[in-house]
Chains A and B, each alone.
Chain A
Amino acid sequence: DAGVIQSPRHEVTEMGQEVTLRCKPISGHDYLFWYRQTMMRGLELLIYFNNNVPIDDSGMPEDRFSAKMPNASFSTLKIQPSEPRDSAVYFCASTGRATNNEQFFGPGTRLTVL
């Protein structure tokens, strides 16, 4: 199994641009999570899905952030417009009953907004 796949691994963009981060969860997992990690705040849960349906998006910082999961094998996190304070590492994780709800994290996307 390839594990959770995220793309791109690194993204550098200018303030005001749209950014789209992508995630492919582990096959068979029915939960998908998006996290943000910064030095100041550590890991923060942004949103999670169960069976492609958003369950809790209370961690999404602003309306500039949106996430979708059109099918069981793909999710996106979009920031529009991006701001310098959005610079962080964004992780996607997935889990399911087969793994006793242990979350498996992807390698992350390091986003830098200039």
Chain B
Amino acid sequence: KNQVEQSPQSLIILEGKNCTLQCNYTVSPFSNLRWYKQDTGRGPVSLTIMTFSENTKSNGRYTATLDADTKQSSLHITASQLSDSASYICVVKTSNTGKLIFGQGTTLQVKP
């Protein structure tokens, strides 16, 4: 069964600290993996998209990694800011049906 699991479910960190969010998937066949940021009351916004051949991709203070062999991805946030408080959703796309399989998300709270 195609599934995407994220951990932790929620996380609280202090402003300025780094953190890493995890995403494990069992989706096959794999097309790409995306990380979205969703602020409270708003729609998700894409942070990164990675294909099979990409191991790492950065977007400012956000760095995503992908290990297609172990089917794991991580999103690392460097020098967190209060505005990083949001839900982060991992999404995997299948290459046969083109369907997006969504993780449940990790809720990050950055405290001053």
Distance in Å: Cβ of A60 to nearest Cβ of chain B? 14
CB atoms of B45 and A105 under 8 A apart? yes
Docked Cα-Cα span, A97 to B45, in Å, equals 18
- B108 within 8 A of partner (CB): no
CB atoms of A102 and B49 under 8 A apart? yes
Given A43-B89, A102-B49: A93 and B43 interface contact (C-beta under 8 Å): yes
Chain A, interface size category, equals 10 to 19
List B48-102 residues whose CB lies under 8 Å from chain A: 49, 89, 97, 99-100, 102
Report whether over half of chain A's contact residues are helix, strand or loop; otherwise say mixed. strand
Docked Cα-Cα span, A101 to B41, in Å, equals 24
20 sampled A-B residue pairs with Cβ under 8 A = A42-B89, A42-B103, A42-B104, A43-B89, A43-B102, A44-B102, A45-B102, A93-B43, A102-B34, A102-B49, A103-B100, A105-B43, A105-B44, A105-B45, A106-B43, A107-B42, A107-B43, A108-B41, A108-B42, A108-B43
Docked Cα-Cα span, A105 to B2, in Å, equals 23
Distance in Å: Cβ of B111 to nearest Cβ of chain A? 22
List A46-70 residues whose CB lies under 8 Å from chain B: 56
Given A44-B102, A45-B100, A56-B99: A102 and B46 interface contact (C-beta under 8 Å): yes
Q: A42-B89, A45-B102, A108-B42 are in contact. List 8 more A-B contacts (CB 8 A).
A: A4-B43, A42-B102, A42-B104, A42-B105, A43-B89, A93-B43, A102-B46, A103-B100
